[in-house]
Amino acid sequence: MKPALKLPVILGSAAALAAAALLLGKPAPTAAPPSPPPTNVVVAPPRAPVPVAQVVLPSSESPIAPAKGEGPVIQIALLLDTSGSMDGLLDQARTQLWNIVNRFSKAKRDGVSPELQLALYAYGNGDPGAGSNEIRLVSPFTTDLDALSERLFALRTSGGTELAGEVIDEAVKKLAWSRHPDAMRLIFIAGNEDFDQGTVDFRKTTANARKEGITVNTIHCGGFETGISHHWKEGSTLGGGSYMNIDQDAKVVELPAPQDEEIARLGAELNKTYVAYGGAKGAVLQQRQAVQDSNSLKSSLGAMVSRSMAKASHNYSNANWDLVDAVKQKQVDLGAMPAEELPEPLRGLDAAGRKAWLEAREAERAKLQARIQELANERQRFLTEARRNQADTGNTLDGAIGQVVANEAKKRNLTLE
């Protein structure tokens, strides 16, 4: 993997610009129409039974659902350098989040789908919330993917000191790692400065992580040989993981697929099947779903496609605010819920009526998700064939992470396809 890895920034087309304009309620910028003209992605607004304009919380205060940790589990902690030179890395992480999630959409262990938990640390940045060591826990392990996306998009870069050994130490000691012997526990740390800065020795922290069954993988944002001389490879070796290098500012065009616009449209249509409960809090979290759609689409049409595919998988759950997921996971008793906790259409119904109404929303969602999954399979076949005719442009961050995940999965009798 010696050549610098290329991180994909999916370049937006006129179709993506028009889609973003529809989502944001603004006219699309003028652009020469391609031939033939693509179908616009019509993004429907989410159902919002409670007005939300007065109750929107800042990103730092928006609640995040904790991970449940029941049954098979995959835990991935992302440790990102957010010092002043790392804007490109943040952009790539935002674009790649849903690709990472989608790698586990078909994961099984002994016929059971594992729970995917993601955590996020920022280091090398003294912004509010960081400690004196310029390290901040952005999100603990969670299954709340919209909350993680929200916080990732809220991150900003600023000058600082990059203490790799110390952030690894904090992640190992402070995150709620599963103790199950077959759990997949991975750290990916990315940055561009010397790996041995600070008073906490990375050799001890990476070796300690390995003793705890946590694999440390390092991603140097710069030259391959430079990363070796700056101890990034040594860190991964001691941590039992893989060393990779990337050019975080590289722009690589990703192939468009005929299914992209329809997948994005259906992903937005899914929002209409979500039913917020719990009054103003539920309404805030429902709006967050729409905002993360917007963030993805503004990044690129491809990012919205990846997010839509993730929304059609078992990894995307919103039981902390969506009544369909909450009832399905037996987190609430629909018949016993007080009327004020319910959306308006359910308040006048008895238990049987509530159940029937909600089952209709669940059936509608399942139909949309099944169609997205069908299109996603067609899309994958198309891209696989199309890439055979392309010259090799180097590995991507998503591909590099995929190689690590595939190897770790084999060790734990976990299938990903």
Q: What is the pLDDT of residue 116?
A: 94
CB 205 within 8 A of CB 189: no
CATH number for position 193: 3.40.50.410
Instruction: Tell me: do 196 and 161 sit in the same domain.
Output: yes
Average pLDDT over residues 331-344: 92
pTM recorded for the entire structure: 0.82
Secondary structure (3-state) at 53: coil
pLDDT 10s digits, 247-259: 877 665 578 999 9
* Residues 130 and 93 reside in one and the same domain: yes
- What average pLDDT does the segment 147-176 reach? 94
Asked if 164 and 124 count as a contact pair (C-beta separation under 8 A), the reply is: no
In this structure, the answer to whether residues 343 and 372 fall within a common structural domain is: yes
Same domain, yes or no, for 243 and 336?
Answer: no
Highest mean pLDDT among 70-74, 111-115, 265-269, 381-385: 265-269
Sequence-distant (≥ 6) Cβ neighbours of residue 75 within 8 angstroms = 117, 118, 119, 141, 175, 177, 178, 183, 184, 185, 186
How many domains does the chain fold into? Answer: 2
Structure confidence at residue 67 (pLDDT): 61
Q: 205, 165 in Cβ contact below 8 A?
A: yes
Tell me the C-alpha distance between 61 and 33, whole Å: 42
Count CB-CB contacts under 10 A for residue 258: 11
**Strand, helix or coil for residue 177:** coil
Spatial contact of 270 and 365, defined as CB atoms under 8 Å apart: yes
pLDDT at 26 over 90: no
| 176-230: pLDDT as tens digits | 999 888 889 999 999 999 999 999 999 999 999 999 999 999 999 989 999 999 9
Do 93 and 160 fall within a single domain? yes
Q: Mean pLDDT of all residues in the chain? A: 83
Please indicate, yes or no, whether residues 373 and 400 belong to a single structural domain of this protein. no
In the structure encoding, which two tokens stand for residue 273, read together? 């099947």
Is the residue at 196 inside a domain? Answer: yes
Range of the domain at 339: 48-58+256-388
Distances (CA, A) of 396 to 6, 155, 161, 183: 5, 22, 27, 26
Are 273 and 159 found together in one domain? no
* For range 43-63, the mean pLDDT: 38
Distance CA 360, CA 323 (A): 12
